[in-house]
Amino acid sequence: MEMQRQILRPRFHGVEYDRTGWVLPLVIKKNNFRIFYSSDVMGPIIGDYASYICKTQPDVVLLDGPPTYLFPYMFNRLNLNRSIENAIKIVNCRPRLLIYDHHLLREKRWWRERVAPVFVEAEKTGVVLLTAAEYLGRKPLIDTLG
Distance between CA atoms of residues 24 and 8, nearest Å: 6
119 C-beta neighbours (distance < 10 Å), count:
17
pLDDT tens figures, 108-129: 877 678 899 999 999 999 999 9
Distance between CA atoms of residues 32 and 117, nearest Å: 30
pLDDT tens figures, 5-46: 999 999 988 888 888 889 999 999 999 999 999 988 998 999
How many domains does the chain divide into?
A: 1
Question: What's the average model confidence in pLDDT over 86-111?
Answer: 90
**Structure confidence at residue 110 (pLDDT):** 73
Whether 93 and 131 have beta carbons less than 8 Å apart is answered as: no
In this structure, the strands spanning 60-63 and 97-100 are: parallel
pTM of the model: 0.93
Q: What is the 3-state secondary structure (H, E, C) of 123-136?
A: HHHCCEEEEHHHHC
Q: Which domain holds residue 137?
A: 4-144
